[in-house]
Amino acid sequence: MTWEEFEHGWRLAPAIPPADAPARALVVLLHGVGSNAQDLLPLADRWSETFPDVAFTSTAANASTVALLAGNGSACAT
């Protein structure tokens, strides 16, 4: 079971074979301001031991989202 990078973050497929079977659930991890998607990967690694049939993803906020949350009214989500 290895992490795979994609356009907006990282994903981890369920550990239970067969690999092409659908996940029972999906956990989406959202980081806070000043952090990034990779900071949460160890948390999902730990949880995947208990929930091997669950998929995990950790998404990365883009600059527009961060500016919007920081109170910059001129930012717009992309």
The answer as to whether 25 is a domain residue is yes
Cα angle, residue 64 at apex, residues 68 and 67 outer, rounded to 5°:
40
**Hunting for tokens 């049939």 — which residue is that?**
53
pTM: 0.66
Residues of the domain holding 54: 3-69
- Report, in this order, helix, strand and coil percent for the chain, each rounded to 5: 25, 25, 45
Number of domains in the chain: 1
Mean pLDDT in order along the chain per 10 residues (78 residues):
79 72 87 83 90 88 65 52
What span, in angstroms and rounded, lies between the C-alpha atoms of 41 and 22? 21
Question: Is the residue at 61 inside a domain?
Answer: yes
- Domain assignment present for residue 78? The answer is no
